[in-house]
Chains A and B, each alone.
Chain A
């Protein structure tokens, strides 16, 4: 067998494919073969490396040189310079190397950089090869759980870790599992919510594209803890590559006996099925998602009964977000106290953030809970684009809250943000510079809500329509004097009377935008 001298990782995700990654990959492989290097250099596909907007990205190991914006025309030079002559090609080297470790909440300068939890393998292993996941300690957590832990112990460990749902609602994961475990019934289900639809959020897509086996293992552990034998992944129909990779991963896991009957010769049997969503924001709400899984319109259900007692086909059902489940194998493998070493006392662990808008380097990071907004924007994302002033940020997606400049030093975690009447939500951070018009922002948010309101309850259906009417005339400078107060008033009524979180949550962006940018917005109706 040949000893491979260099490994080249090429990032294949929806973003780089769009930039032509497939063509670059083919040219690279052909060129390496043409130079007679095929036995010495191996080209491997991996998921997102964590940078967006840098075109096609390659990493050459063992040197660890990151190249960006590669086109097929660059390949002959790259191969000749770096791989034949051993001189890294300076003109294509990325100036900002994506962070492959957890962003620390306080810079002590002492702690050594910690590996990531959720994104540990993303951009490092080949997501289409189960052996690479196994080599990175994959499926060890489920093996440990099946051989050395009872389901109750798994639940206890998860509870102790303090893991809460990463989809936005932040409910304690261990407790959810416990409720479902204790609910009467022989048939129970695990549902993974991969219907990522919060504007500005693409973390679940990158987890699915970069490390699909981690999700499978997380679901296996959840299934074992709860006593479920079937799992469903409800995934956005638009996420073509995620669906392809997940289905491939499920096929490999079945082949290896990691899904199916008597997993690892235990009494535990579990299988996973992928279900494509059909495009409805409201289906991110867990009961609406369950309705959709049952083949119906995605209208939310009355609660109680909660899904943990009466969910999919009226059976006890756990609905967990992709990122939540991706934390689980690491917790079982390293223990709850290890996990609590990250983040804050009340909110342990890390959070995957997507940073977008007017920043120099938009992208995806995994940061400790409690990292400040300032650090996330200025340390990771390279600050505001073009050296402009920070005006504000919309945190948590369209159903999130605006934060003003005096909130830059707020610690970002589920518990702390609540004290400032804000939310962490899905972890989307839309950064706005001084040129952004807040009325336009509100207009975009309100149009989105009107489009996605499912029509089930009156306050949301009529409220969103009225609010769009108002904001449109305000934005055209034809607003009436009391229009802004009317907006707030309608949002308030919706918050208290809407049937599901979709209608209830609109109050947050409205009230927070008025809190920080009230003067600007009101100047439109003078």
Chain B
């Protein structure tokens, strides 16, 4: 990248992301069946899928904006609101539920001051619920970004969460 683009101003950084997205879309140009794959990549880039991203994907892949929106809201994985830098998810699968997953969620909601599906004001954490992640032998489980934590205790939970800046 050229030097002028390296300024710290947020807007310029965002524009850079849009340029990258443009390249991704080019690879999948007019191939509607690759929509979910493109959305995965786009969310990786932005952390969420704002309206402008949806519009670009819609145009590039030749899928109506309504369909793009439909797919995004159907799957748990995609989000239309900004996510925090760290994604905290509590497993509420049957095994975790029985072993106190609900208590973990309540505690996290209280400590972070947000509800499941929301993001803290400083964008440090997003809180969510995840369906069974197959860590049932270690219930209750918590997922932070790609790291899985098992046998989480309500007393130790915040200590783990705070390790993520």
Contacts and interface: CB of A to CB of B under 8 A. Distances in A.
Contacts of A452: 131
Interface string A427-469: 0101010001000110011011001101000000000000000
Nearest to A18: B148
A22 B15 CA distance: 37
Interface string B137-149: 1110001001111
Identify the interface centre among A17, A202, A296, A440: most chain B CB within 10 Å of its CB.
A296
Nearest to A359: B137
B93 A278 contact: no
A454 B74 contact: yes
Interface string A17-57: 11000000000000000000000000000000000110000
A441 B98 contact: yes
B130 A238 contact: yes
B70 interface: yes
Nearest to A354: B136
B75 A280 contact: yes
B164 interface: no
B98 A444 contact: yes
A197 interface: yes
Identify the interface centre among A202, A363, A440, A454: most chain B CB within 10 Å of its CB.
A202
B74 A280 contact: yes
B18 interface: no
A240 interface: yes
Contacts of B77: 237, 277-279
Given A15-B150, A18-B149, A292 B36 contact: yes
Contacts of A296: 35, 67, 71
A448 B92 contact: yes
A357 B98 contact: yes
B133 interface: yes
A295 B71 contact: yes
Interface in B102-144: 129-139, 143
B131 A197 contact: yes
B131 A451 contact: yes
B137 A238 contact: no
Contacts of B161: none
B131 A436 contact: no
B136 A200 contact: yes
B131 A447 contact: no
A503 B149 CA distance: 32
Contacts of A275: 36-37
B39 to A, nearest CB: 7
Nearest to B70: A297
B76 interface: yes
What is the size category of the interface that chain B forms with chain A? 35 or more
B93 A199 contact: yes
B131 A278 contact: no
B150 A53 contact: yes
Contacts of A281: 131
Contacts of A286: none
A294 interface: yes
Interface in A350-367: 354, 356-357, 362-363
B85 interface: no
Contacts of A447: 92, 97
B84 interface: no
A292 B33 CA distance: 9
What is the size category of the interface that chain A forms with chain B? 35 or more
A240 B138 CA distance: 18
Contacts of A297: 70-71, 74
Nearest to A357: B95
Interface in A250-300: 275-281, 292-298
B32 interface: yes
Interface string A339-356: 000000000000000101
B78 interface: yes
Contact of B137 (A198, A276, A362): A362
B13 interface: no
B165 to A, nearest CB: 20
B30 interface: no
A62 B80 CA distance: 54
A294 B87 CA distance: 28
A430 B40 CA distance: 33
B80 to A, nearest CB: 14
Contacts of B39: 278
A398 interface: yes
A277 B74 CA distance: 12
Given A276-B37, A279-B76, A294-B33, A15 B132 contact: no
Identify the interface centre among A196, A278, A430: most chain B CB within 10 Å of its CB.
A278
B135 A278 contact: no
Contacts of B14: none
Contact of B94 (A196, A240, A293, A398): A398
A279 B75 contact: yes
Given A18-B148, A363-B137, A295 B36 contact: yes
Nearest to A397: B94
A68 to B, nearest CB: 13
8 contacts: A18-B138, A196-B134, A199-B136, A200-B95, A205-B134, A444-B97, A447-B92, A448-B94
For the complex of A and B, the 6 pairs showing the least CB-CB separation, nearest first, are: A202-B134, A52-B137, A279-B76, A278-B75, A295-B35, A444-B97
Given A199-B95, A294-B33, A356-B137, 5 more contacts: A276-B36, A278-B36, A280-B75, A354-B134, A428-B136
Interface of B: 32-37, 39-40, 63, 67, 70-71, 74-78, 92-95, 97-98, 129-139, 143, 146-151
